Amino acid sequence: MVVGSRLHQGLDIECADGSVVYAPFDVTLNGKLIVYTDPAKSAINEGINLQGEGLCFKLFYVRPDHTSGTVSKGQRLGIMLPMQNVYPGITSHVHVQMCDKSDPTGYF
């Protein structure tokens, strides 16, 4: 999907700032993700790399509780970061991106 002048390579799942984010299925946590290089976006510059169900994917705008180990389906992964502080008026969301940048829609 093209958003403005850039290709949107993922799925946005609406989520209120500060909400708890849960594992969509059993996952292995594969480290913290840095989303931006722009210091102006530091309030939302976190995410997590995950693997599970034979998939490799990333969740953006989530402060993870842990960055290694495993989490079972339905268990807490972390919290949604404050997108409104960086992008006032945006619909806050967790961005899901497959490691190979394929469309994740069918998995969620």
The tally of domains found in the chain comes to 1
Domain contains 7: no
- Residue 101 in any domain: the answer is yes
Confidence grade of residue 6 (pLDDT, cut at 50, 70, 90): low
Residue 4 lies in a domain: no
Beta strands, E only, 24-92? 27-33, 47-52, 55-60, 62-64, 68-71, 76-80
Whole-structure pTM value: 0.88
Encode pLDDT of 11-48 as tens digits. 999 999 999 999 999 999 999 999 999 999 999 999 99
**What is the domain range of residue 68?**
15-107
Report the CATH number at residue 26: 2.70.70.10
| R_g over Cα of the chain | 13
